[in-house]
A = this chain, B = another copy of it.
Amino acid sequence: MAEQKATNITWHGGTVTPENRQALLNQIGCCVWMTGLSASGKSTIGVIVEQLLLEKHKTAFRLDGDNMRMGLNKNLGFTAEDRTENIRRVGEVSKLFVDAQVITVSSFISPYKKDRDAVRALLGDKFIECYVHVSIEEAEKRDPKGLYKKARAAVAAGKGMGFTGVDDPYEAPEKPELTIYTEKVTKEEAAHQIVAFLESKGFLKA
Protein backbone atom coordinates (compact mmCIF):
# COMPACT_ATOMS: atom_id res chain seq x y z
CA MET A 1 0.00 0.00 0.00
CA ALA A 2 0.93 3.65 -0.20
CA GLU A 3 3.69 4.63 2.15
CA GLN A 4 3.66 7.93 4.02
CA LYS A 5 6.14 10.15 2.19
CA ALA A 6 5.91 13.60 3.76
CA THR A 7 7.38 14.23 7.15
CA ASN A 8 7.11 17.54 9.01
CA ILE A 9 3.31 17.47 8.80
CA THR A 10 0.82 17.99 11.59
CA TRP A 11 -2.89 17.12 11.64
CA HIS A 12 -4.95 20.27 11.80
CA GLY A 13 -8.25 19.50 13.48
CA GLY A 14 -11.36 21.67 13.35
CA THR A 15 -13.99 22.78 15.83
CA VAL A 16 -17.02 21.56 13.90
CA THR A 17 -17.84 18.08 15.18
CA PRO A 18 -19.34 15.11 13.33
CA GLU A 19 -22.44 15.58 15.49
CA ASN A 20 -22.71 19.25 14.43
CA ARG A 21 -22.67 18.19 10.80
CA GLN A 22 -25.13 15.35 11.33
CA ALA A 23 -27.58 17.65 13.08
CA LEU A 24 -27.31 20.22 10.29
CA LEU A 25 -27.94 17.67 7.53
CA ASN A 26 -30.23 15.40 9.58
CA GLN A 27 -28.39 12.29 8.48
CA ILE A 28 -25.28 10.28 9.23
CA GLY A 29 -22.63 10.07 6.57
CA CYS A 30 -21.78 6.67 5.18
CA CYS A 31 -20.43 5.09 2.03
CA VAL A 32 -22.44 2.69 -0.08
CA TRP A 33 -19.67 0.93 -1.95
CA MET A 34 -21.10 -0.59 -5.13
CA THR A 35 -18.83 -3.31 -6.45
CA GLY A 36 -19.47 -5.62 -9.39
CA LEU A 37 -18.59 -6.51 -12.95
CA SER A 38 -18.74 -4.00 -15.76
CA ALA A 39 -22.39 -3.84 -16.93
CA SER A 40 -23.71 -5.08 -13.59
CA GLY A 41 -25.65 -1.84 -13.22
CA LYS A 42 -23.64 -0.19 -10.43
CA SER A 43 -23.67 3.33 -11.85
CA THR A 44 -27.27 3.26 -13.01
CA ILE A 45 -28.53 1.99 -9.67
CA GLY A 46 -26.33 4.60 -7.95
CA VAL A 47 -28.01 7.37 -9.93
CA ILE A 48 -31.45 6.18 -8.79
CA VAL A 49 -30.30 5.92 -5.17
CA GLU A 50 -29.06 9.51 -5.30
CA GLN A 51 -32.39 10.67 -6.73
CA LEU A 52 -34.43 8.77 -4.11
CA LEU A 53 -32.32 10.28 -1.34
CA LEU A 54 -32.83 13.80 -2.72
CA GLU A 55 -36.58 13.20 -2.59
CA LYS A 56 -36.11 12.41 1.10
CA HIS A 57 -34.19 15.69 1.49
CA LYS A 58 -30.94 13.84 2.05
CA THR A 59 -27.56 15.03 0.86
CA ALA A 60 -25.96 12.36 -1.27
CA PHE A 61 -23.15 12.33 -3.77
CA ARG A 62 -21.96 9.78 -6.28
CA LEU A 63 -18.35 8.90 -6.95
CA ASP A 64 -18.23 6.92 -10.16
CA GLY A 65 -15.42 4.84 -11.65
CA ASP A 66 -15.38 6.25 -15.15
CA ASN A 67 -16.00 9.82 -14.00
CA MET A 68 -13.13 9.68 -11.53
CA ARG A 69 -10.84 8.38 -14.24
CA MET A 70 -11.47 11.61 -16.14
CA GLY A 71 -10.49 13.75 -13.16
CA LEU A 72 -8.66 12.74 -9.98
CA ASN A 73 -7.50 9.43 -11.45
CA LYS A 74 -6.83 10.45 -15.03
CA ASN A 75 -3.16 9.55 -14.56
CA LEU A 76 -3.99 5.92 -13.76
CA GLY A 77 -4.49 2.98 -16.12
CA PHE A 78 -5.60 -0.60 -15.51
CA THR A 79 -2.48 -2.42 -14.35
CA ALA A 80 -2.93 -4.18 -11.01
CA GLU A 81 -0.83 -1.44 -9.39
CA ASP A 82 -2.88 1.35 -10.94
CA ARG A 83 -6.15 -0.35 -10.02
CA THR A 84 -5.01 -0.53 -6.42
CA GLU A 85 -4.02 3.15 -6.41
CA ASN A 86 -7.34 4.00 -8.10
CA ILE A 87 -9.29 2.36 -5.30
CA ARG A 88 -6.98 3.75 -2.62
CA ARG A 89 -7.63 7.29 -3.84
CA VAL A 90 -11.38 6.94 -4.18
CA GLY A 91 -11.46 5.30 -0.78
CA GLU A 92 -9.74 8.36 0.67
CA VAL A 93 -12.14 10.69 -1.15
CA SER A 94 -15.09 8.61 0.08
CA LYS A 95 -13.76 9.09 3.60
CA LEU A 96 -13.65 12.86 3.14
CA PHE A 97 -17.28 12.87 1.99
CA VAL A 98 -18.31 10.59 4.84
CA ASP A 99 -16.49 12.91 7.26
CA ALA A 100 -18.59 15.71 5.76
CA GLN A 101 -21.58 13.46 6.67
CA VAL A 102 -22.66 13.07 3.05
CA ILE A 103 -24.25 9.79 1.97
CA THR A 104 -21.67 8.73 -0.54
CA VAL A 105 -22.47 6.28 -3.31
CA SER A 106 -19.18 4.97 -4.64
CA SER A 107 -19.52 2.84 -7.79
CA PHE A 108 -16.34 1.06 -8.79
CA ILE A 109 -15.72 -2.38 -10.26
CA SER A 110 -13.09 -2.66 -7.48
CA PRO A 111 -12.30 -6.26 -8.40
CA TYR A 112 -9.66 -6.98 -5.75
CA LYS A 113 -10.72 -7.98 -2.26
CA LYS A 114 -7.64 -6.51 -0.60
CA ASP A 115 -8.34 -3.08 -2.10
CA ARG A 116 -11.95 -3.09 -0.93
CA ASP A 117 -10.85 -4.32 2.49
CA ALA A 118 -8.44 -1.40 2.74
CA VAL A 119 -11.35 0.99 2.15
CA ARG A 120 -13.37 -0.89 4.75
CA ALA A 121 -10.54 -0.48 7.24
CA LEU A 122 -10.46 3.25 6.47
CA LEU A 123 -14.21 3.78 6.83
CA GLY A 124 -15.05 1.34 9.62
CA ASP A 125 -18.75 0.97 10.30
CA LYS A 126 -19.56 3.64 7.73
CA PHE A 127 -18.59 1.25 4.94
CA ILE A 128 -21.52 -0.57 3.36
CA GLU A 129 -20.27 -3.05 0.81
CA CYS A 130 -22.99 -3.55 -1.77
CA TYR A 131 -22.31 -6.41 -4.16
CA VAL A 132 -24.07 -5.69 -7.43
CA HIS A 133 -24.29 -9.24 -8.66
CA VAL A 134 -24.53 -10.34 -12.26
CA SER A 135 -23.28 -13.54 -13.88
CA ILE A 136 -20.47 -13.07 -16.38
CA GLU A 137 -22.75 -14.58 -19.05
CA GLU A 138 -25.46 -12.00 -18.44
CA ALA A 139 -22.91 -9.15 -18.25
CA GLU A 140 -21.51 -10.18 -21.63
CA LYS A 141 -25.01 -10.35 -23.07
CA ARG A 142 -25.79 -6.82 -21.84
CA ASP A 143 -22.42 -5.35 -22.88
CA PRO A 144 -23.85 -1.83 -23.39
CA LYS A 145 -20.49 -0.32 -24.32
CA GLY A 146 -19.21 -3.28 -26.35
CA LEU A 147 -16.32 -3.69 -23.92
CA TYR A 148 -16.64 -7.44 -23.35
CA LYS A 149 -16.67 -7.98 -27.10
CA LYS A 150 -13.53 -5.86 -27.40
CA ALA A 151 -11.86 -7.73 -24.54
CA ARG A 152 -12.69 -11.16 -25.99
CA ALA A 153 -11.31 -10.05 -29.35
CA ALA A 154 -8.13 -8.80 -27.70
CA VAL A 155 -7.67 -12.12 -25.89
CA ALA A 156 -8.35 -14.05 -29.11
CA ALA A 157 -5.67 -11.95 -30.81
CA GLY A 158 -3.27 -12.95 -28.07
CA LYS A 159 -2.98 -9.42 -26.65
CA GLY A 160 -5.42 -9.15 -23.79
CA MET A 161 -6.49 -5.94 -22.12
CA GLY A 162 -6.75 -6.90 -18.46
CA PHE A 163 -10.53 -6.62 -18.52
CA THR A 164 -12.29 -7.72 -15.34
CA GLY A 165 -14.14 -11.01 -15.77
CA VAL A 166 -12.37 -11.77 -19.05
CA ASP A 167 -8.63 -11.66 -18.48
CA ASP A 168 -8.44 -10.07 -15.05
CA PRO A 169 -10.08 -11.57 -11.95
CA TYR A 170 -13.16 -10.33 -10.12
CA GLU A 171 -12.95 -11.38 -6.49
CA ALA A 172 -16.54 -11.42 -5.27
CA PRO A 173 -17.25 -10.08 -1.77
CA GLU A 174 -17.54 -12.79 0.84
CA LYS A 175 -19.58 -10.94 3.43
CA PRO A 176 -21.06 -7.87 1.82
CA GLU A 177 -23.56 -5.84 3.84
CA LEU A 178 -25.92 -6.04 0.86
CA THR A 179 -26.19 -8.12 -2.31
CA ILE A 180 -28.30 -6.97 -5.22
CA TYR A 181 -29.23 -9.74 -7.66
CA THR A 182 -29.61 -7.72 -10.81
CA GLU A 183 -30.98 -10.64 -12.78
CA LYS A 184 -33.89 -10.89 -10.34
CA VAL A 185 -34.84 -7.28 -9.57
CA THR A 186 -35.22 -4.11 -11.63
CA LYS A 187 -32.80 -1.25 -11.16
CA GLU A 188 -35.53 0.72 -9.40
CA GLU A 189 -36.19 -2.15 -7.00
CA ALA A 190 -32.46 -2.43 -6.37
CA ALA A 191 -32.23 1.27 -5.51
CA HIS A 192 -35.18 0.96 -3.14
CA GLN A 193 -33.48 -1.99 -1.43
CA ILE A 194 -30.42 0.16 -0.80
CA VAL A 195 -32.40 3.11 0.54
CA ALA A 196 -34.41 0.79 2.77
CA PHE A 197 -31.14 -0.61 4.12
CA LEU A 198 -29.85 2.90 4.90
CA GLU A 199 -33.12 3.71 6.62
CA SER A 200 -33.06 0.51 8.69
CA LYS A 201 -29.53 1.24 9.86
CA GLY A 202 -30.41 4.74 10.99
CA PHE A 203 -28.30 6.68 8.50
CA LEU A 204 -31.21 8.82 7.26
CA LYS A 205 -31.72 10.76 10.45
CA ALA A 206 -29.38 12.41 12.92
Cβ proximity bits A51-72 to B, threshold 8 Å, 1 near / 0 not: 1001001011111111101111
Tell me which residues from 95 to 114 in chain A have a Cβ below 8 Å from any Cβ of chain B.
95-97, 99-100, 102, 107
- A20 touches which one: B6, B54, B69, B85 (CB < 8 A)? B54
Verify B11–A51 contact, CB threshold 8 A. no
Verify A92–B72 contact, CB threshold 8 A. yes
Cβ proximity bits A116-143 to B, threshold 8 Å, 1 near / 0 not: 0000000000000000000000000000
Kindly state whether residue A74 has any CB partner on chain B within 8 Å: yes
Verify B147–A12 contact, CB threshold 8 A. no
Residue of B with least CB distance to A17: B54
Cβ proximity bits A3-27 to B, threshold 8 Å, 1 near / 0 not: 1111011111111100011001100
Residue of B with least CB distance to A7: B77
Q: Tally A residues with Cβ within 8 Å of B.
A: 60
Residue of B with least CB distance to A20: B54
CB distance from A2 to the nearest CB of B (A): 4
User: In the complex, which residues of chain B have a beta carbon less than 8 angstroms from the beta carbon of A11?
Assistant: 66-67, 70
- A9 touches which one: B6, B61, B70 (CB < 8 A)? B70
24 A/B residue pairs, CB under 8 Å, sorted by A: A5-B69, A5-B74, A6-B69, A6-B76, A6-B78, A8-B145, A9-B70, A11-B70, A12-B43, A12-B47, A12-B64, A12-B66, A13-B47, A14-B47, A15-B50, A24-B54, A59-B59, A61-B96, A63-B96, A71-B96, A72-B93, A89-B89, A97-B100, A102-B102
